[in-house]
Amino acid sequence: MSFKNIGLLCSGGDSPGMNCAIRAVVRTALFHGIKVTGIKRGYSGILNKEFIPMNLSSVGNIIQRGGTILQTSRCPEWLHPEHRKKGVELLRAQGIDALVIIGGDGSFNGAKSLWDEHQFPVIGIPGTIDNDISGTDYTIGFDTAVQTAIEAVDRIRDTAHSHARTFLVEVMGRNSSAIALKVGVCTGAENILLPHETVDHQKIFDDIKRGMKRGKDSSIVIVAEGPVAGRSYDIQKVLKEKYQLDAHVAILGHVQRGGSPSANDRFIASQMGNLAVEALMKKQFPVVTVETSGKVGLAPLEDCITKANNNFIEFQNLAQTLSI
């Protein structure tokens, strides 16, 4: 059987470059004479029948735009088998015979259930700023988010230096250390706090003091947001009360999720979108498009359904060594 109509959706948190992947899926499929149906707002869009036929111009002028034209959502209903069964019926009624899902590990778990329970052909494309999916070195959006955060920290460093201040800069990453570590290395941060790490206030204070002694005028501590965004305020309070150290807080938040995708994100997303359709045509599913050792390829879906939250952990020592 060859596929006639590919369903395409984004699920979970959006990330810069998702539009490039959408464009690549649509253009590759149409090039090969396969129809594409866009599904709005992730798995919810299947259940709510939000189907839109995609043509060549549906994806015109989107390569440079952040977010996702299909929009996205986190869909708790999809966790229940009866909703997935209903979803497959709705997809089939629409003539959709395969699904491409752009998202993170949670979205891929949803895809795996579709395959396991209904043998519905699925392909995943990793898209999240967190870079935390097992089986792939890279997820679309990470590069752009890191660049956005670096630019923000550079600006903060300018004013921190002028006033000889310490800043706690909170970056995204509920479970993932990747943004914090890469931004920390690239901005020369004096300290990096990982999402689930117990905060060692004494060490933060000692590092800052040591820097001051050798003439440093400013200190930047990168704080991964962890389970509850805003934890920098708790750290600020302890530093003030216990060590009489005044630190300012800057929470970068969702600024990191938007914006025009970097060259790297556009390039990888374009390759992954193209490869996803080619894999379907060769009946290679269920798989995920991945990047390993700098090359885009395919990995079994089951290798990509857990969180890899220690990506970049090896750079913690590098950041520490270079910021003494």
Choosing from 14, 130, 143, 207, which is the catalytic residue?
A: 130
Does residue 131 bind ligand F6P (CB under 6 A)? no
Taking the complex as a whole, the smallest distance from the CB of residue 250 to ligand F6P amounts, in Å, to 16
Binding mask 196-235 for ligand F6P (x = CB under 6 A): -----------------------------x----------
Residue in 109, 99, 125, 114 with CA at minimum distance from that of residue 274: 125
Give the whole-angstrom CA distance, residue 248 versus residue 167: 5
Shortest Å distance, C-beta 8 to ligand F6P: 19
**Catalytic residue at 143?**
no
Query: Do 41 and 73 form a contact (C-beta atoms < 8 A)?
Result: yes
HSE on the CB side for 152, CA within 13 Å? Answer: 22
Q: Residue 150 burial (CB < 10 Å; 0-12/13-18/19+)?
A: middle
What is the nearest approach in angstroms of ligand F6P to the Cβ of residue 173?
5
As given in the structure block, the two tokens for residue 186 are: 């690239």
| The one among 130, 143, 170, 190 contacting ligand F6P by CB under 6 A | 130
Using the minimum distance from each CB to ligand F6P, give the nearer residue, 137 or 278.
137
Q: Does 181 bind ligand F6P (CB under 6 A)?
A: no
The reply to whether 13 sits near ligand F6P by the rule CB under 6 A is: yes
Among 174, 201, 216, 248, binds ligand F6P (CB under 6 A): 174
Q: What is the largest CA-CA distance in the chain?
A: 71
CA dihedral 7→30→68→115, nearest 10 degrees, is: 30
In whole angstroms, give the CA distance from residue 171 to residue 214: 28
User: From the list 40, 41, 182, 257, which residue makes contact with ligand F6P (rule: CB under 6 A)?
Assistant: 257
Stretch that binds ligand F6P, among 26-34, 151-159, 171-179, 311-319 (CB under 6 A): 171-179
Cis before 286? omega within 30: yes
Which residues of this protein are in contact with ligand F6P, per CB under 6 A? 13, 128-130, 172-174, 225, 257
Which positions are catalytic?
130
